């Protein structure tokens, strides 16, 4: 093996340590600390291990795990875009594509091509594995929000209709998990954690 190949691989491994510094909006259960994107990716990988039997179609678990481990690495450069930040989503695709080129480009060409292909597959949402991976990616923040008292929903004045729209793709990957998501949303509304609407004048849920 060429020494430069190993050197570039190790450089990439050190580079992705930065994902641990990318903070998401979700709060950790039992803590006021915000989750980072590396923790999020690990949690999704564990979800795939446990919940793969609930995918709509039989999925290749190893391939699904690869998608989940790779899908947010671009956030090292592009940052995490909050799901309900419409302005933040402007230019998101371009920012992430530039990030993918730089970060995965640190690897030997064969591995760089594989990583980019995995990232693009996840983004493209054409395969059972990518659809199941996205289902997990949408479900986990919902559960975080519900089990931490809806704090980030309130802070960002998120409404039921926004969350329902956000959860819509879950059914493409797993009808069972889509049912769970729907139930959690309705429980959140019933318990007052997620308002149907917000009053702009009073800044309070209606």
Residue 110 CA from chain centroid, whole number: 26
Condensed to tens digits (0 to 9), the pLDDT of residues 131-148 reads 999 999 999 999 999 999
Region 173-201: mean pLDDT is 89
CB 145 within 8 A of CB 152: yes
Residue 56 has pLDDT above 90, yes or no: yes
Residue 37 has pLDDT above 60, yes or no: yes
Region 191-204: mean pLDDT is 70
pTM, two decimal places: 0.93
Give the DSSP letter of residue 60.
-
Tell me the pLDDT of the chain averaged across its residues: 93
Residue 30 has pLDDT above 90, yes or no: no
Residue 201 has pLDDT above 50, yes or no: no
**Residue among 117, 143, 145 at smallest CA distance from 130:** 117
**Residue among 185, 188, 192 at smallest CA distance from 206:** 192
User: Which structural domain, as residue segments, surrounds residue 112?
Assistant: 3-205
Place of tokens 């592009």: 78
Condensed to tens digits (0 to 9), the pLDDT of residues 59-108 reads 999 999 999 999 999 999 999 989 898 887 788 899 999 999 999 999 99
Q: pLDDT confidence of 44, banded at 50, 70, 90?
A: very high
Q: pLDDT confidence of 58, banded at 50, 70, 90?
A: very high
Q: H-helix or E-strand containing 24?
A: strand 23-27
Residue 198 has pLDDT above 80, yes or no: no
Residue 1 CB coordination number (10 Å): 6
CATH assignment of the domain containing 153: 1.10.3210.10
* pLDDT of 200: 42
Angle CA(88)–CA(92)–CA(97) in degrees, nearest 5?
160
What is the count of structural domains for the chain? 1
* pLDDT of 166: 96
Cα 154 to Cα 144: distance, rounded to the nearest angstrom: 14
């Amino acid at each position: 093996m060429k020494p430069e190949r190993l050197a570039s691989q190790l450089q990439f491994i050190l580079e992705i340590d930065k994902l641990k510094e990318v903070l998401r909006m979700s709060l950790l259960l039992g803590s006021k600390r915000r989750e980072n994107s590396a923790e999020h990716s690990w949690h999704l990988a564990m979800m795939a291990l446990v919940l793969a039997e609930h995918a709509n179609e039989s999925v290749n678990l190893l391939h699904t795990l690869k998608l989940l481990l790779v899908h947010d690495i671009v956030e090292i450069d592009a940052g995490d875009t909050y799901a309900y930040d419409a302005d933040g989503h402007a230019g998101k695709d371009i920012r992430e594509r530039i990030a993918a080129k730089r970060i995965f480009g640190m690897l030997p060409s064969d591995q760089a091509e594989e990583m980019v292909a995995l990232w693009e597959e996840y983004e493209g949402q054409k395969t059972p594995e990518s659809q199941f991976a996205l289902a997990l990616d949408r479900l986990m923040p919902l559960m975080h929000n519900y089990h931490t008292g809806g704090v980030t929903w309130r802070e960002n004045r998120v409404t039921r209709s926004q969350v329902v729209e956000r959860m819509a793709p879950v059914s493409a990957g797993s009808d069972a998990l889509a049912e769970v998501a729907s139930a959690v949303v309705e429980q959140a509304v019933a318990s007052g954690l997620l308002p149907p609407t917000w009053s702009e004048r009073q800044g309070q849920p209606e």
